[in-house]
Structure 1
Amino acid sequence: MRLFAAVLPPPAAADELAYAVDKLKTLPGAEDLRWAPRESWHFTLAFMAEVEDGTVPVLSERLSRAARRTAPFPLALHGGGHFGDRALWTGAAGDVDTLRLLARRADAAARKSDITMEEHRHYRPHLTLARGHGEPSLRAYVDGLADFEGGEWTVAELTLVRSNLPRSGVPGERPRYEVVGRWPLGGAG
């Protein structure tokens, strides 16, 4: 199964972001982008690709430990950016250093569970909003997010998510995400 560790924004933060995204969808060319559905919004901490079913219990225990070792921390959705003209995203504000630490710990949990991971690289927190194919340019959408400041919330859990890839062959169909496990961060109830 395809798995990733993530931080999910709470409903109030998603509401604020949805309001900003609705404005972006009125810009010229917005209909040419593949907008991520709200229920798929997340900050990926560690992408594990294919994981054998038998590895999930060990991985879950290690992710639970990583969560217990990390104190809850404040986070907010903030601004926007893009990766070329292929992905539009919003970023994070608040205790981004602890978010990066949690990402490193989730990555280490996967590696210690004998899951082959990509080479270590600098973690850049982002929540993907839309994907493009080079047209239109994403610059206007990034500009539209420049002043976006979501309200702060406390990240209190680490989530393991399964990505169910589309099988219908219908163009534009997206993966479905399903939560496999949740672990409270240290000190969280």
Structure 2
Amino acid sequence: MRLFAAVLPPAEAVDELAVAVQRLHALPGHDGLRWTGHSGWHYTLAFLGEVDDDLLPAVEERFGRAAARQDPFPLRVHGGGHFGNRALWAGAAGGLDAMRMLADRAHAAARRAGVPMEEHRAYKAHLTIARSRTGSDTDLRPYADALAGFESTAWTVRELALVRSNPPTPGVPGAQPRYEALRVWGLGG
């Protein structure tokens, strides 16, 4: 199964971001983007990739330990950015040092559980809003600029989620991956 560790924003923050994202659809070139579904919005902490079922108990044990070592922290969806012309994202503000620490702990927990992890890179908190369609040359800078002043209501991150990514339904135009939280741990034990 395809897994990742994540922080899931609360419904209020998702709703506020959805209003801001809807305004982006008025910008030129919006049809050159594949917009992600609101129900799947999350901040990925560590991408585990395909994980054998027999490793799941060890992953869950290690993630439980990682969550217990992390205190809750404040967060809000803030601003936007892009990775080249590939992906448009909303950023985060607040307890970013704590979020980086949680990402590091999740990565280490997966590795210690026996999941072959890619080289650990510096963490950049981002929530993917859209990806460029194949062959699209949509400039994402105006979209990121339009999100620059966005700020959601703040919340306290109290959970670490292990999420399963189910592939899009084959043959259905516009189908997107479906995300399912397999397990959630409270931060701080």
TM-score tier, shorter chain, comes to: over 0.9
- Alignment partner, residue 50 of structure 1: 50
- The question of 1:102 aligning with 2:132 is answered no
Q: Mapping of 1:110-149 within 5 angstroms? A: 110-133=110-133, 134-149=136-151
The 2-side partners of 1:22 and 1:171 are apart by: 21
Q: 1:152 is aligned with what amino acid?
A: A
Deviations 1:69-95 (A, max 9, x none): 100000010000000111000111001
Q: 1:22 is aligned with what amino acid?
A: Q
- Alignment partner, residue 161 of structure 2: 159
SS at match of 2:91: strand
- Alignment partner, residue 37 of structure 1: 37
Q: 1:117 is aligned with what amino acid?
A: M
Structure 2 counterpart of 1:177, from 171, 179, 182: 179
The 1-side partners of 2:96 and 2:157 are apart by: 11
Q: Mapping of 1:57-72 within 5 angstroms? A: 57-72=57-72
Q: 1:23 is aligned with what amino acid?
A: R
Mean Cα deviation higher: 160-169 or 78-87: 160-169
Deviations 1:83-139 (A, max 9, x none): 011100011100100000000000011000110001011111100000014421111
The 2-side partners of 1:143 and 1:108 are apart by: 34
1:167 Cα deviation from its structure 2 partner: 4.6
When the two structures are superposed, what TM-score results if normalisation uses the length of structure 1? 0.96
Q: 1:52 is aligned with what amino acid?
A: D
Question: Contact 2:37–2:176 at 8 Å: present in 1 too?
Answer: no
1:45 Cα deviation from its structure 2 partner: 0.4
Mean Cα deviation higher: 4-13 or 24-33: 24-33
Mean Cα deviation higher: 169-178 or 6-15: 169-178
Q: 2:41 is aligned with what amino acid?
A: W
Q: 2:86 is aligned with what amino acid?
A: R
Moved over 6 A (4+): none
Mean Cα deviation higher: 108-117 or 27-36: 27-36
Q: 1:15 is aligned with what amino acid?
A: D
**Which residues of structure 1 form unaligned runs of 5+?**
none
The 1-side partners of 2:176 and 2:125 are apart by: 22
Q: 1:164 is aligned with what amino acid?
A: N
Question: Contact 2:169–2:176 at 8 Å: present in 1 too?
Answer: no
The 1-side partners of 2:102 and 2:115 are apart by: 17
SS at match of 1:55: helix
Q: Mapping of 1:69-108 within 5 angstroms? A: 69-108=69-108
SS at match of 1:141: helix
1:166 Cα deviation from its structure 2 partner: 2.4
